[in-house]
Amino acid sequence: MPQRPPAEPGMPEDEVDTPALILDLDAFEANLDAMAAFLAPTGAKLRAHAKTHKSPVIALQQMRRGAVGQCVQKVTEAEALAWGGVPDILVSNEVVSPRKLARLLALSGISRVALCADSEAGVALAEQAAAAAGQRLRLLVEIDVGAGRCGVPPGPEAVALAQRIAASPHLIFGGLQAYHGSAQHQRTPEQRAATIAGAVEHTRRTVEQLRQQGLSCEIVGGAGTGTFPHEATSGVFTEIQAGSYAFMDADYAANQDAPPFRHALFVLTQVMSTPRDGLVVVDAGHKAAPTDSGFPKVWQRPGLRYAGASDEHGNILVEGGTAPKLGETLRLVPGHCDPTVDRFDWYVGTRKGRVECLWPVAARGGMQ
């Protein structure tokens, strides 16, 4: 059963039921505008990653500003977007379950869908599923440009897999998926620039080798919030897959020379106990603000440090400034926006301290 909305339009933010997922609309819209303005002169298009926001409402706002579509990681996310009116969806990931492939293909009547593969077996499974559905499915080759996770090596192996796709009657070769995940949080701009220079070079070489075999890449996709200026201006990447830029989080903000996006996403929490001087306990623990990328930060309250999370409790040390009172609400900047969004059923959109709108996190829990 979905959770009830924690707020109503018009309500002051500090009356919202806690913990709640707050989207500061002024900051959010400024972030969407800033990315659109940055990409416009580069020629690269945005295909924002919906693994971050899980919302067709947000996807369509990105597309109104020029995004060509959306990325997802999971078929369930593709369904939520397609059912919410998103017309162009790339699963930037491998799917090898026949049932999931059939579900993805079932969306093609309402949305243009594409998928990635990194093995001959994966290509064969996609071909079988597309044949069974009587369709042709666009398939990209994922190449490992240094992240060491999924993907075939760039170069001849990628070309061979692309040829296999192109030779499959129910598949269309769609291009390359070339995302370097671990580069996104390298802390210095020099590290990120050097890593992505290597990724770009691997990708450029593979695109050229494909061209020599008569295979053109409709999509050359990759990049995230930490590195997108490099891919976007490379002349190689056609699509940028950043997602977190819309919200920002504490981990991206910790990058030196972080991209100039504003914190737009917060977990609103309430002080539920003030057991002794120097400590307040809030009602958001790691179930509300996952700690895989570190603890959340307390927003605009110098001297308050979130220093310990249990399931339903957060310990905030009062190291300066004014101690918050029992019942007071605080905004937390999540350590990592993606899993945090996925904990909630509702965005509470606020502007200047008042609730303006409620949007469902439509693909919340969509892991399949």
| Binding residue (CB under 8 A) for a copy of itself from 159, 339, 347, 350 | 339
Nearer to a copy of itself, 17 or 218 (CB): 17
Instruction: Find the part of the chain contacting a copy of itself (CB under 8 A) among 31-39, 95-103, 126-134, 316-324.
Output: 95-103
Q: Which helix (H) or strand (E) holds 250?
A: helix 250-253
Q: Which helix (H) or strand (E) holds 64?
A: helix 56-64
Cis omega (within 30 of 0) for bond into 19: yes
- Please report, as residue ranges, which positions from 204 to 263 form the binding site for a copy of itself (by CB under 8 A): none
The reply on whether position 47 binds a copy of itself by CB under 8 A is: no
H-assigned helices in the chain:
25-39, 50-53, 56-64, 75-83, 98-105, 120-133, 156-166, 189-212, 228-232, 250-253, 337-341
The reply on whether position 360 binds a copy of itself by CB under 8 A is: yes
Tokens of 289: 């603000």
Measured at the alpha carbon of residue 108, what is the angle toward residues 103 and 111, in degrees to the nearest 5? Answer: 115
What is the maximum alpha-carbon separation in the chain?
A: 71
Nearer to a copy of itself, 26 or 120 (CB): 120
The nearest distance, CB 219 to a copy of itself, in angstroms, is 19
Closest-CA residue to 3 (of 343, 330, 366, 334): 343
How many CA atoms lie within 13 Å of 108's alpha carbon, on the beta-carbon side?
Answer: 18
Instruction: Find the part of the chain contacting a copy of itself (CB under 8 A) among 107-115, 191-199, 229-237, 339-347.
Output: 339-347
- Please report, as residue ranges, which positions from 2 to 41 form the binding site for a copy of itself (by CB under 8 A): 2-3, 6, 17-20
Instruction: Find the part of the chain contacting a copy of itself (CB under 8 A) among 126-134, 215-223, 247-255, 359-367.
Output: 359-367
Q: Which residues bind a copy of itself (CB under 8 A)?
A: 1-3, 6, 17-20, 51, 73-74, 76, 80, 93-97, 99-100, 118-119, 121-122, 125, 144, 149-152, 181, 270-275, 281, 283-284, 286-288, 290-292, 309-313, 315, 326-327, 338-339, 342-345, 360, 362, 364-368
